[in-house]
Structures are given as structure tokens and as C-alpha cells.
Amino acid sequence: MPEITRPLDLKPLLVELADDATPTVDSITLAKTGGTTTITDFDDGVLGQTFKLLAKHAITITDGTNILLSGSVDFVMAIGDVLTLTMFDDQVWEEVSRKVNL
């Protein structure tokens, strides 16, 4: 019987992003904020990728060329808020949904 193998480079289910203006989201589907630095873009995403971001810190996600948010305004996330983004066009993240933790 052939041996079934799995890739050794398995990503954790929930990843803490770097405290950086442009954190990497390479192979990430679930992430939490790693600090309070305003985010202006997400690096290393691929077309069709969707990920959810949980705010573990008060943080701002900037609406602009690379991140298109609802209402074309920045999202000032409070602890517990969740933002879902998808890359439909190359290097452009679009908001799919958000949950505001009141």
C-alpha cells in the first residue's frame, strides 16, 4: 500500500500578522493583528485569495488603491472586529464583509 504524505510546510490555522504597514498574508486564511501600526496594504496575496482579519488591537485599515473598503473610507477596527477581504483583481483587496464588535 502506498504511503500517504503531507507537505511539511503547513501553515498554522490562525496567524498573527507582523506589526507592519504592509504585512504578508502568504497562504493565510485566518489572521489576527500583531500590533497597532496602520495597515495600507497586504503583501504576498494571490488572485482569488480570501482571508479574515481579527482585530486583537485597535487598528486602522486604510482604504485606497490596494484596499477597497465599503463606503471608500478607512476602517478603524476595535478589538474583536473582523474584516474579510478577497483579491478579485491583481494586488487589489476588496472588502467582502465586516463584523463590528459593539
pLDDT in tens, 25-66: 999 999 999 999 999 999 999 999 999 999 999 999 999 999
Burial grade of 57 (CB within 10 A; 0-12, 13-18, 19 or more) = middle
Domain containing 40: what range?
15-99
Is 6 part of any domain? Answer: no
Rounded to two decimals, the pTM is: 0.88
Residue 24, pLDDT above cutoff 90: yes
The enclosing domain of 19 has a CATH number of: 2.60.120
Length of the chain, in residues: 102
Is 33 part of any domain? Answer: yes
Is 75 part of any domain? Answer: yes
Per-residue pLDDT, 26: 95
Instruction: Count how many domains the chain has.
Output: 1
Q: How far apart are CA 74 and CA 71, in angstroms?
A: 9
pLDDT band at 1 (very low <50, low <70, confident <90, very high): low
- Using CA atoms in the order 74, 19, 95, 87, what is the torsion angle rounded to 10 degrees? 130
Using one digit for the tens of pLDDT, what is the confidence trace for 3-23? 655 555 556 789 999 999 999
Is 1 part of any domain? Answer: no
Q: How far apart are CA 75 and CA 28, in angstroms?
A: 21
Is 10 part of any domain? Answer: no
